[in-house]
Structure 1
Amino acid sequence: MYQVIQYIKFLLKSTNQHGVHSPFVYNLVTTCFYDKSKHNSYKAIRSYKALLLQNKTKIKVEDLGAGSQKMKQQKRLIASIAKNAGTTHKRAKLIYRITNYFKPNTILELGTSLGIATHAMHLGNPKASITSIEGCPETSLCSKKQLEHFKTENIKLITGDFNTEITKLKTQHYDLIFFDGDHKKEATLHYFKTLLQTTTNDSVFIFDDIHWSEGMTEAWETIKQHPKVTVSIDTFFWGIVFFRTEQAKEHFTIRI
């Protein structure tokens, strides 16, 4: 019910490209978000998830974050995870377009899950160096096998606790970070603050499920107000922030 109410609020204040006066955001919305082209990579994105949906192997899932709202049992079919908790086809295509649009050289993903978004980002920029962290060992192993099957390169999978692993990575610089692993307010804000030092002027942070719960919405509001954040975009399912010092601080609510 919370998400339904939040979505109604979102629809009431959201806009499309016609309500955007920032050239940077206008170009992003029209050229990337609303790109209707039938990219060849979409077939590979669909094939990747289709193979997972056929996989009847059961794995032991360790939910280190907020967990799944649909699946509570620990032993789960890979096919069920792909169907209920994996990145949707619509979002996989969007993360592909975003990666293809910005061409980030270095990408960090918190929450590999089955690697659907990881694979899509790789297709968006095959030359990018991607580091993806997954807390569940069996899920991580499944992702590794799946990504190897699709002959991906330049992807480093790390199995471990986010808190421990990002501490080792915070001296790096990342052009894009996808936060998709722990849907709790305190954890999200901690990861955000820890990884702020990895940003450059052109970095992009994407937060999944910003309206998952009241706590996640509060986390999103705090992130938007941070002094280093100049542009923020609420797409309802994702919150996207930029650190471009040449941009005036402004928030956008965009329907996709």
Structure 2
Amino acid sequence: MYFQLKSYLTFLFRSQNQHGLHSPFVYDLVTKCFYDRSDYKDYKLIKNYRNDLLSNKDQIEVKDFGAGSRVFKSNLRPVFSIAKNAGITLHRAKLLYRITNYLNIKNALELGTSLGIASSAIASNRTTQLITVEGCEETARIARQQIKKYDLNNIQLIKAQFETAISQLSSNIEQQTTNNKPQTSEKFDLIYFDGNHQKQATLDYFSKLLPTAHNNSVFIFDDIHWSPEMEEAWEEIKSNPKVQVTIDNFQWGLVFFRKEQAKQHFTIRV
């Protein structure tokens, strides 16, 4: 907890708002998306989806992968408590929806479905096709129920460990490259990394999924200030030669690959 407080104070000291942004792309993203105060009709679905989970008192047995939980001491957890403490906040869910909408995301991948709150934010824009991966059987079961209840037919939920799902995607890319086939079916406009908050795992996922990005893709990493090693992972990602623009908004790290952009790193309050 002390580490995160120190990190947040450092973030506040370094951060800025839209003023002084010398990148037109980032300035427009911040002013027209991050700071957009419009009341989108799709917010209602996201809010109802989340509130539904917050009223669910059923207990499920959760299998944690990666760094585990700082909140829960037992693997037997009430659904409402998972939604409240481990799920994305409504504020963040709305921001994720706006990013998906603003960047015109068509094909998205999510690592870490949990109960599917972030999934609903991405897929509320019905033109977006989302593949979401969850390793825990019970949370995946609840997410499937919710996805079906809210008719989010543009979500494909895969129950598998991240390594298995990523290996399959990487294998498809390699096969297409070998056969000189178009790779559009395996390119993602957005990848949302929300699970296994450990340095090496994060870097491995990033490295293996890099071939699935195109010039206008965005990768979003959750909890980049979770721990010293997650901050180290974030610094390594920023230094990757294929990464051109990054935005640190404390909770998330956004990565862009736009070759036409000068390499720049931003720390922005949202």
TM over 0.5: yes
For 1:6, the equivalent position in structure 2 comes to 7
Q: Secondary structure at the match of 1:108?
A: strand
For 1:215, the equivalent position in structure 2 comes to 229
For 1:195, the equivalent position in structure 2 comes to 209
For 1:147, the equivalent position in structure 2 comes to 147
Matching residue within 166, 173, 187 for 2:187: 173
For 1:56, the equivalent position in structure 2 comes to 57
For 1:233, the equivalent position in structure 2 comes to 247
Rounded Cα–Cα distance in structure 1 between residues aligned with 2:228 and 2:44: 36
Rounded Cα–Cα distance in structure 2 between residues aligned with 1:209 and 1:58: 26
Give structure 1 regions of 4+ aligned residues with deviation exceeding 4 angstroms: none
1:147-166 deviations in whole A, cap 9, x for unaligned? Answer: 11001112110111101111
- The root-mean-square deviation of aligned C-alpha atoms, in Å, is 0.7
Rounded Cα–Cα distance in structure 1 between residues aligned with 2:161 and 2:153: 24
Q: CA deviation at 1:46?
A: 1.1
Rounded Cα–Cα distance in structure 2 between residues aligned with 1:191 and 1:199: 13
For 1:242, the equivalent position in structure 2 comes to 256
1:182-234 deviations in whole A, cap 9, x for unaligned? Answer: 11101000000000010100110000000000010000000000000000000
For 1:120, the equivalent position in structure 2 comes to 121
Q: Any unmatched runs of 5+ in structure 1? A: none
Q: Any unmatched runs of 5+ in structure 2? A: 174-185
Rounded Cα–Cα distance in structure 2 between residues aligned with 1:180 and 1:19: 30
Q: CA deviation at 1:181?
A: 1.0
TM-score (normalised: structure 2): 0.93
Provide the identity percentage.
55
Matches within 5 A, 1:15-164: 15-123=16-124, 125-164=125-164
**One-letter amino acid matched to 1:231:** V
Q: CA deviation at 1:5?
A: 0.2
Q: CA deviation at 1:72?
A: 2.2
TM-score (normalised: structure 1): 0.98
Rounded Cα–Cα distance in structure 2 between residues aligned with 1:2 and 1:145: 37
Rounded Cα–Cα distance in structure 2 between residues aligned with 1:67 and 1:42: 30
**One-letter amino acid matched to 2:60:** I
Q: CA deviation at 1:244?
A: 0.5
Q: CA deviation at 1:117?
A: 0.5
